[in-house]
Structure 1
């Protein structure tokens, strides 16, 4: 794919004469509004799904229902400002996309920057290096599609490259009966329970790290009754340290300089002595540091890895290059599981 030929979303919005309307509220809407302001793209309004419209306003805009937005703006460009994976909601987004020009802007969850013209030019060599490292044709297709989505904001690229997680479990990770699994960013234990289901309850031990106190309590409850599960209330990091932490609801808690709360963090190499056979990292933008904290395990035992590649702009290329620099003998696969925007894009390494 020649990335130079793809139309950049923000260029398209600057040229358009259609009103630009944001679908959704919250952090996503605020981020998109900021980028629109930087590019001097006027935002005409905001609408939300009917069940969230209560006659209120957001960022100074009255929050409309979709039918009200259609009546007010006619033919419009819709910018999706929230994440969706549930089939009913995805179907609703697809219906809106049939009636309007719809994009899901790729704004990073953490850090700055956008996949715009200058950014791609600066990192083209790294992108091409990672592309050459990918182990199969599916990975290369996913890489091209995710990159095309990031450039254009067009969700069709994501929909075209989705695969279920089970394919990665069955065809790439191929667990054995004696896995020793470290779940970094274990949230409420849902991915621990998922792993236990996938291996039919046959494993050696599970270590589950979760720094958020509320989530950790849910993790302990969620894993109650599962044998050989060690829950650790720490964040995965590259050194032992007390870190400022923003404890949001759900999965979005993250290390954030200046935040009012704090957590204890440490390297996995210091916390877990026995050889690990599988490590999952979904640590809300701290993947680079967490991987460095797993260096001894990676060098000594070459555990299978599942690494979230969507929290920061650079994750798509920086994380596989980081692992390749540690051990050049990993086979690197990339999969995108059903999600809009490009969340749940994961590198699998074996």
Structure 2
């Protein structure tokens, strides 16, 4: 990618994959740089520096590639730290991913072919979703996400909506006041979303879909505690994944380094396997008031497998938009098509840094302003 020496900022799983990819392509990686001193002195055969121990002759000369890829360390703030330590040439994930995507694999919203906002504005799909968004914040958020991911709005890295994720005036205002809420959590993780919801509303029916065996253990422990605290809560766990068809799925790694494969084979010791099935095939008559979908890049397939349930329920929908680079435009359009004329109002909100935890909200019973 570049024909000179460079450093990598960060020492986590993404940084290690980045170093491996660069070295295999012939780039001269000099080492990793971390913010805090640790016992780690060497990684992947390379030295681990702190800002204080980076050789002085590299400052101002050597480019540094950001190997931090998560929802908590905002890139505009990291840029201040990097520049304050004498490095002016920064390679961000959107700079190197187009060259290294075959080696790095799926990395959530990173796009091997990023387009600037000016190109998106000529796209008919972009124009259609803009015309369907209900407020100026949604439209501005969409534009800034696209700009940030193409490298032209670094300050968006720190931006988050003033509204709480999932349970906010948009969603709670659409529920019937005083009536118990039925909740479907597609991608329940450890039950944290259900735990948040019961702070706002009485929940009597909750179905939690979670395919990851590691997460299921955490979910079981959390539900045991919640049912003791809330006597009316009656959660039901389905240990499968939601999709458009019956198949198998493998998950490797953890967090933002997780790799998800349909019908994939892998030798990784961290791989977990799950069965995928359409929700319509296992819940042919259920209805829900609130549906959350967050399934690590297979959100659209999950929604396609629950079309009949969506049409029966007319539920409040909260759908993750950050798992794939084109989801932020294409997934809302697919949802609008799936809802097929049911009166909804549509919003986009940004809830964490670096365009992670972007959520598409579909609010029933209203018409677009």
TM-score with structure 1 setting the length: 0.80
Q: For residue 164 of structure 2, what is the aligned residue in structure 1?
A: 166
- The verdict on how the C-alpha distance between 1:216 and 1:338 changes in structure 2, with shifts beyond 3 A counting, is same
What root-mean-square deviation, in Å, do the aligned CA atoms of Structure 1 and Structure 2 show?
A: 3.5
Decide whether the 8 Å contact of 2:110 with 2:149 is kept in 1. Answer: no
Decide whether the 8 Å contact of 2:164 with 2:351 is kept in 1. Answer: no
1:145-160 alignment runs, 5 A limit: 145-152=144-151, 154-159=153-158
Q: For residue 9 of structure 1, what is the aligned residue in structure 2?
A: none
Moved more, 114-123 or 289-298: 114-123
Q: For residue 105 of structure 1, what is the aligned residue in structure 2?
A: 93
Distance 1:131 1:138 in 2: 11
What are the superposed Cα offsets for residues 137-182 of structure 1, whole Å, 9 maximum, x if unpaired?
11111111111110007531232x4114527622211244422111
What are the superposed Cα offsets for residues 21-51 of structure 1, whole Å, 9 maximum, x if unpaired?
3212344225655886899987554212324
SS, match of residue 62 in structure 1 = strand
Aligned residues: 329
Q: For residue 358 of structure 2, what is the aligned residue in structure 1?
A: 345
SS, match of residue 300 in structure 1 = helix
- The verdict on how the C-alpha distance between 1:209 and 1:259 changes in structure 2, with shifts beyond 3 A counting, is farther
Structure that is richer in helix per residue: 1
Distance 1:138 1:158 in 2: 16
Distance 1:124 1:282 in 2: 26
Q: For residue 140 of structure 2, what is the aligned residue in structure 1?
A: 141
Q: Tell me, which stretches of 5 or more residues in structure 1 are unaligned?
A: 1-12
Q: For residue 271 of structure 1, what is the aligned residue in structure 2?
A: 282
Decide whether the 8 Å contact of 2:10 with 2:68 is kept in 1. Answer: yes
After TM superposition, give the deviation of residue 266 of structure 1 in Å: 1.4
Distance 1:37 1:334 in 2: 39
1:314-333 alignment runs, 5 A limit: 314-327=326-339, 328=341, 329-333=343-347
The answer as to 2:53 corresponding to 1:61 is no
Distance 1:255 1:267 in 2: 17
1:109-258 alignment runs, 5 A limit: 109-110=107-108, 113-117=111-115, 121=119, 124-152=123-151, 154-159=153-158, 161-166=159-164, 169-174=167-172, 175-176=175-176, 177-199=179-201, 202-224=202-224, 225-226=226-227, 227-241=233-247, 243-249=248-254, 252=258, 254-256=260-262, 257-258=264-265
SS, match of residue 222 in structure 1 = helix
Distance 1:40 1:171 in 2: 52
Decide whether the 8 Å contact of 1:145 with 1:158 is kept in 2. Answer: no
Q: Tell me, which stretches of 5 or more residues in structure 2 are unaligned?
A: 98-105, 228-232, 364-369
